[in-house]
Chain A
Amino acid sequence: ETGVTQTPRHLVMGMTNKKSLKCEQHLGHNAMYWYKQSAKKPLELMFVYSLEERVENNSVPSRFSPECPNSSHLFLHLHTLQPEDSALYLCASSQDSAGLNTGELFFGEGSRLTVL
């Protein structure tokens, strides 16, 4: 139990569906992240939120839309995805305070997405 919970753990969707991935952290952290892991590739950073503001959008297509309503919750809204978007989506959190923390990431167990 890392204190970061992701739901659903598995999701199958068609290319015309709209779905959302949810992440919740119980660690009191102020930064949250979405990472993507495709087969045979390293973890890729998608989005970073610090103090509920998006500070990084790593050239992610607009069919992925993040939302961070408060410091404990992060969503990834999915719309008209492609089969190549099938991957493991990992959420993480950290405490972002200059000079006062190691900055290590605490990850959820991931949401395995399959796009048909």
Chain B
Amino acid sequence: ILNVEQSPQSLHVQEGDSTNFTCSFPSSNFYALHWYRWETAKSPEALFVMTLNGDEKKKGRISATLNTKEGYSYLYIKGSQPEDSATYLCACDMEYGNKLVFGAGTILRVKS
């Protein structure tokens, strides 16, 4: 059974703080790692898809890194803003075909 673990479960930060979350997954038979942002009452939205060990991707103030050998990915948010409040999901694809297994998510709340 493939387990994708995310930590922390929830996080409350002040506006302007930088924060990071962790996603852990089995390192064998790895194909791809996805990060999604899910705002309340909206649909999950893809942030990054990463496949190569050492990948680093960036979108504005959000960036992600990938270590496939040790089975983890970090998501960083620099200078958090209230609009960053959402649940951040990671998902692991262990074989080509988009059979993604999702973690439980990290809930981020940013106070102004």
Contact = CB atoms under 8 A, between A and B. Distances in A.
Interface of A: 2, 4, 31, 33, 40-45, 48, 50, 55-56, 90, 94, 96, 98, 102-110
Given A43-B91, A103-B98, 10 more contacts: A33-B98, A41-B104, A42-B105, A44-B102, A45-B101, A94-B98, A98-B96, A103-B34, A103-B49, A107-B43
A103 B99 contact: no
A109 B4 CA distance: 23
Nearest to A37: B102
Contacts, number: 59
A108 B45 CA distance: 10
Interface of B: 4, 32, 34, 36, 41-46, 49, 89, 91, 93, 96-105
B98 A42 contact: no
Given A103-B49, A109-B43, A48 B104 contact: no
Interface core residue of B41, B45, B100 (most chain A CB under 10 Å): B100
A105 B34 contact: yes
A4 B45 CA distance: 12
17 contacts: A2-B43, A40-B104, A41-B104, A42-B103, A45-B99, A45-B101, A48-B98, A50-B97, A55-B97, A90-B43, A94-B98, A103-B34, A103-B93, A104-B34, A105-B34, A105-B46, A107-B44
B100 A105 contact: yes
Contacts of A43: 89, 91, 102
B99 to A, nearest CB: 6
Given A48-B97, A55-B97, A103-B32, A42 B49 contact: no
